[in-house]
């Protein structure tokens, strides 16, 4: 079966955060770029419908797309044509961050290295919390790590990162197992996931990251923020599509109460 769905790490993460914060005073802003094409206009419209505030540039490249294959167990493989994402540099990022003055900034590496470094530099200067999602793996990850408060790799990305600077909290996602929190020399903390019938794991990591960042914004400690994020990611994989199964704030709360 072939189907088209909205996606992109930043867009998915913004939707997950917006749904997790719906009904609060928090504002989720998506900073990014699209092409001057139907895919770009459709992507912008979909994010606006979710209540995401947009600071998006339209560039002369095509909008980024991905081809995703999903097997019978819901596992996926992804090939990406980044398009406008890689043409998006530091200047628009700096301008947008100065305009919005965020408290928490979630950065993935699906954008250009200059854009990611600009966001990290802003956080270091402004005292904002940087959540670094080191996906897809990048040679610039080592440069970004010292500026991050939290880094959220999967198992493969964790292995590729090597050592982590002191004080940076690693929240390693492990799919159906949940997540593991690594903080300096403290014993690792497992945040277990509940068993679910997975239909499509596409976007589960993005859901985790968006809900985790939302939890930090609300003042939750890392364990509670991770617990909410693991729960949300588990709910998200029960529906086909990267965003379709991402839960609302009420759905996350109900799932947490049912498991307590």
DSSP type of residue 154: B
Residues with Cβ within 8 Å of residue 258, at least 6 apart in sequence: none
Indicate the helix (H) or strand (E) that contains 56. strand 53-59
- From 184, 185, 206, 250, active-site residue: 206
Could you give the CA distance from residue 64 to residue 42 in angstroms, rounded to a whole number? Answer: 12
Does 206 qualify as catalytic in the annotation?
yes
φ and ψ of 121, to 5 deg: -65, -40
Helix, strand, coil percent values for the chain (each to nearest 5): 45, 20, 35
d(CA 155, CA 11): 23
Residues marked as catalytic: 206
């Amino acid at each position: 079966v072939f189907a088209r769905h909205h996606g992109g790490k930043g867009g998915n993460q913004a939707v997950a955060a917006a749904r997790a914060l719906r009904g609060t005073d928090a504002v989720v802003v998506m900073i990014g770029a699209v092409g001057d094409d139907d895919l770009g206009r459709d992507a912008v419209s979909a994010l606006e419908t979710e209540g995401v505030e947009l600071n998006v540039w339209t560039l002369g490249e095509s909008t980024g797309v991905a081809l995703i294959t999903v097997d019978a167990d819901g596992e996926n493989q992804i090939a990406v044509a980044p398009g406008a994402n890689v043409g998006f540099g530091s200047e628009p990022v700096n301008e947008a961050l100065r305009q919005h003055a965020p408290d928490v900034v979630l950065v993935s590496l699906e954008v250009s290295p200059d854009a990611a470094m600009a966001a990290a530099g802003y956080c270091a200067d402004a005292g904002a919390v940087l959540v670094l999602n080191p996906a897809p793996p990048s040679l610039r990850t080592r440069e970004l790590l010292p500026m991050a408060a939290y880094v959220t790799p999967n198992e493969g990305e964790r292995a590729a990162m090597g050592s982590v600077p002191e004080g940076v909290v690693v929240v390693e996602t492990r799919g159906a197992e949940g997540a593991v929190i690594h903080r300096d020399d403290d014993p690792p903390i497992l945040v277990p996931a509940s068993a679910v019938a997975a239909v499509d794991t596409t976007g589960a990591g993005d859901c985790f990251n968006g809900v985790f960042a939302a939890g930090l914004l609300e003042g939750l400690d890392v364990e509670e923020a991770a617990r909410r994020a693991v729960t949300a990611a588990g709910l998200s994989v029960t529906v086909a599509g990267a965003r379709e199964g991402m839960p609302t704030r009420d759905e996350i709360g109900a799932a947490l109460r049912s498991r307590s």
